[in-house]
Structure 1
Amino acid sequence: MKTPDSELDYIKAKNKVEKLKRFYTHFAVYFVINTVITAVKIMHNLKNGETFNEAFFDFATIITWLVWGIAIALHAFSVFGLPLILGEDWEERKIEKLMNDELQNE
């Protein structure tokens, strides 16, 4: 039989796993899609007479990795960095505060 505390711990752990799963999926999609885009752009640039270095270090290719990379970095920070800065129980404290504020406003 589960106690309320163990059930709450299970829900917290499940939430963390879901966040990690979403991040890993996001990262995998980022890597696969950008690899395909880069390969297509390199092949296209090589057909247009560029050298491999010119084709590989094309600004459009680099900016694609960079812009989406910033989004990945922000996602990683929200999953891994925020708990380090705000504390592991930040969400719980915030929920409790909002619930108390709601009760006081009634």
Structure 2
Amino acid sequence: MSSTDKKTSKIDPEQRQLIENAQKRIKQKKRLTAHFVVFLAGSILFIILNLVLKFGENFRPLNTDWFVWAILAWFFFLLIHFINVFIVNSFMGKDWEEKQLEKLVEKQQLKIEQLQLKVEKEHPLPNPTPTKRIQDDSNFSNPDHPIINS
């Protein structure tokens, strides 16, 4: 065998979709984990900036250090990210998308059928009248016809 020979594996389309969905979920969870790690590091950095390096120590909205508000705001976004990955995706995941697609396709097909019936009712096709069959008589000859007698 040469290096140009490639083994091609045929994966069932349904199996491929399952694999792609799993890869998408893994990527979502990986990003959430990275977001959490950056949140922890950022929170520690905010605390060090304020308490150790005295950065913005005079800025105290509502008599609370600024880093507390920054960490709370960031935690809110992390919470939204968590809800999106674990809660929303379970309700509106791949299965939900497929069900919605089936519903919409079914609804469209029903509309098409209704329109077809309406068109057929409002603009019926003329009934074809039975036509008489002309018999082919290859032995037919018309002595008066100029083309046949030529």
**Given the alignment of the two structures, is residue 38 of structure 1 paired with residue 38 of structure 2, yes or no?**
no
Q: Structure 1: which 5+ runs fail to align?
A: 49-56
**Given the alignment of the two structures, is residue 90 of structure 1 paired with residue 90 of structure 2, yes or no?**
no
Relative contact order, higher structure (CA 8 A, sep 6+): 1
Deviation for aligned residue 1:99: 7.7
Deviation for aligned residue 1:98: 9.3
How many equivalent residue pairs? 95
In the TM superposition, 1:38-57 aligns within 5 A as: 38-45=47-54
Contact 1:41 1:61 (C-alpha < 8 Å) held by counterparts: yes
Whichever of the two has the greater Rg, that structure is: 2
Q: What TM-score, normalized by structure 1, do the two folds share?
A: 0.70
Q: Structure 2: which 5+ runs fail to align?
A: 1-9, 58-62, 110-150
Pick closer, same or farther for the CA change 1:39–1:91 going to 2, 3 Å. farther
The 4+ residue runs of structure 1 with deviation greater than 3 A are 83-88, 91-94, 97-101
In the TM superposition, 1:1-106 aligns within 5 A as: 1-45=10-54, 58-86=64-92, 89-94=95-100, 96=101, 100=105
Q: What TM-score, normalized by structure 2, do the two folds share?
A: 0.52
Cα RMSD of the aligned pairs, angstroms, is 3.1
| Identity percentage of aligned residues | 20
